[in-house]
Amino acid sequence: MQLIQAKDYDDMSRKAANIISAQVIMKPDCVLGLATGSTPLGTYANLIDWHKKGDLDFSKVSSVNLDEYRGLPADNDQSYRYFMKTNLFDQVNIDQSKTYVPDGMEPDSDTACRNHDNIIKEMGGIDLQLLGLGLNGHIGFNEPASEFPKGTHCVDLTQSTIEANSRFFASIDEVPTQAYTMGIQSIMLANKILIIASGANKAEIIAKAFLGPVTPEVPASILQMHPDVTLVADEAALSVYLKQKSEMEG
């Protein structure tokens, strides 16, 4: 894993956006794997800014998103399709017919998941996958489990994830309890992975994921096995990781 230390959230966002931007410049028709959550917002804001300045062209890029709440329509302001439209797609020149988010309104979960996997396959796989990190180590919505799920699947969200995400909803009862998410295998097949984290509340889980044992109990720990992972994290998020690493190295 390549570690890029950032000072704070803004610095993390700029560094992550630089990596995505390099990918788009080097391969204009690349497939970007995109993520939602509060962490990537600043990264997307930089990409939008650079696009508006004329430095970044998304016209040939296609994208695939990690996950979507089951049962939320695209125009619901908490759906991940809506998030992507507002925070990136509507503000850059990406062809939105080439942006894929699992279909939260497809009631048949097998169909929704198979379709998403087929799309990734047809696109020839993901060049660069951006990931955030859940407080319990989830990536996408791959929650702690007894085994690593492979392809896109339907998950029951854990109570801690429902609580963490309730800040975006009027009340906790409105948070969907299920989601469609790309599996660990789909994520691990990406050529490059860029994981971003900011803030002290991610410090424990970063240390666990990157220094602890590889276990489905901490889904992000599988990234230790990926040949091309870059972690961009700020000082607060790295505090426990750096301390434990220096203790391990004696």
Does residue 35 belong to the site contacting ligand GLP (CB under 6 A)?
Answer: yes
Q: List the x/- string, 162-191, binding to ligand GLP by CB under 6 A.
A: ---x--------------------------
Q: List the x/- string, 113-142, binding to ligand GLP by CB under 6 A.
A: -------------------xxx-----xx-
Does residue 237 belong to the site contacting ligand GLP (CB under 6 A)?
Answer: no
Does residue 102 belong to the site contacting ligand GLP (CB under 6 A)?
Answer: no
Q: Which of 18, 76, 115, 136 is catalytic?
A: 136
Does residue 36 belong to the site contacting ligand GLP (CB under 6 A)?
Answer: yes
CA 102 to chain centre: 14
Burial track 192-217 (b if 16+ CB lie within 10 A, e otherwise): bbbbbbbbeebbebbbbbbebeebbe
**What is the total count of residues that contact ligand GLP (CB under 6 A)?**
14
Closer residue to ligand GLP (CB): 12 or 30: 12
Dist CA 237 CA 135 (whole Å)? 11
Joined tokens for residue 176 = 């969907």
Is 67 a catalytic site residue?
Answer: yes
Nearest Cα to Cα of residue 202 among 248, 247, 158, 233: 233
Closer residue to ligand GLP (CB): 38 or 96: 38
Dist CA 145 CA 58 (whole Å)? 36
Please give the span between the terminal C-alpha atoms of the chain, in angstroms, as a whole number. 20
Does residue 39 belong to the site contacting ligand GLP (CB under 6 A)?
Answer: yes
As annotated, the active-site residues are: 67, 136, 138, 143
